[in-house]
Amino acid sequence: MRRNPILREISHFLLPAIMLFALYVQFHGEYSPGGGFQAGVIFASAIILFAILHGDKKAENVLSLGLAKVLAAIGVLLYGGVGIASMLLGGNFLDYDALAEDPITGQLWGILLIEAGVGITVATVIIAIFYTFSKYKD
């Protein structure tokens, strides 16, 4: 499957579209179905498609296993950080009303940041699990 030239050519067109769609879903989660989880899964499937078609070595050049692990931790910390920040600014844990002057803006900021955190974590976790499976030697 790696040597199939038709699939590789098509993937050159499809992969940027898939990643762009993942970003669209991530940021439009507030107005249409979507949000962090879906966006993370779609982005991960783009990278997995790339890894299946072009081989593991090239995929590792784009996003190595170590970087994926670090990004996963950063996603979780981003989420927790928003919670702690809202505690430091006077509200309860994960109370977004305290993040800005008026509650609506605070909610928007809070939701944006945590959905980004969720998307990053989900995408990198799935990619890292896939890498671990495909590099495994008996």
Partner 1 sequence: MTAIAIVTMRSILSVVMLSGIYSLISATLFIILDAPDVAFTEAAVGAVISTVLFLSAFAITGKHQTLTRKNHWIAIFVVVVTGAGLLYSTTDMPPFGAPDAPVQQHVAPRYLSQAETEIGIPNVVTAVLSSYRGYDTFGEVVVVFTALIAVLLLLGRKKGSSGEGNS
Partner 2 sequence: MLELISNYYNYWVSIILMMLGLFIVIDHTNLFKKLVGLNIFQTSVFILFISIGAVDGGTAPIIAEGYTLYANPLPQVLILTAIVVSVATTAVGLALVVSISRRYQSVDEKEIEKIELESEQE
Binding mask 74-103 for partner 1 (x = CB under 8 A): -xx--xx--x---------xx-x------x
With CB under 8 A as the contact rule, the residue among 45, 85, 87, 98 that binds partner 1 is 45
DSSP state letter for 92: -
DSSP state letter for 98: G
Q: Which residue's CB is nearer to partner 2, number 38 or number 113?
A: 38
Q: Please measure the distance between the N-terminal and C-terminal CA atoms of the chain and give it in whole angstroms.
A: 22
What Å distances lie between residue 94 and 69, 80, 98, CA to CA?
A: 25, 8, 9
Q: CA-CA distance, 91 to 82, in Å (whole number)?
A: 12
Binding of residue 136 to partner 2 (CB under 8 A): yes
Residues at the site binding partner 1, with contacts judged by CB under 8 A:
25, 29-38, 41-42, 44-45, 48, 51-52, 55-57, 69, 72-73, 75-76, 79-80, 83, 93-94, 96, 103-104, 107-108, 110-111, 114-115, 117-118, 121-122, 125-126, 128-130, 132-138
